[in-house]
């Protein structure tokens, strides 16, 4: 149910109803810094970046999926050229 401790607790979802995770290998400190700056500017909920070796994990929580989607897309646009060497073109499947 929506009133459980896990839903309300700061160590859980902290009353947010949308959560998402983005993972990517990061090759440069510049890209990591750019992603950290994006998450720090996120005011529609909570977001943070963790680096474990070369794996960047970004976690986002908010009340509206649009805010989460927009941040993840901004991060993806910044990460794609560095991680796979291609410009960010949205896959068609994401539009379905």
CA dist 18 and 60 (Å) reads 8
| Terminal-residue alpha carbon distance, the chain | 29
Q: What is the CATH number of domain 16-84?
A: 3.30.310.50
Where along the chain do its domains lie?
16-84
Averaged pLDDT for residues 73-86: 90
Q: How buried is 29 (Cβ within 10 angstroms: 0-12 exposed, 13-18 middle, 19+ buried)?
A: exposed
Tens-place pLDDT, residues 31-68: 999 999 999 999 999 999 999 998 999 999 999 999 99
DSSP 47: E
């Amino acid at each position: 149910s929506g009133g459980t401790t896990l839903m309300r607790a700061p160590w859980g979802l902290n009353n947010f109803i949308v959560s998402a995770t983005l993972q990517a290998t990061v090759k440069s400190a510049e890209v990591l810094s750019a992603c950290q700056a994006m998450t720090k500017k996120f005011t529609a909920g909570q977001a943070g970046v963790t680096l474990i070796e070369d794996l960047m994990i970004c976690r986002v929580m908010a009340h509206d999926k649009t805010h989460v989607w927009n941040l993840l897309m901004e991060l993806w646009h910044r990460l794609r050229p560095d991680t796979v060497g291609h410009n960010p073109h949205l896959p068609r499947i994401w539009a379905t």
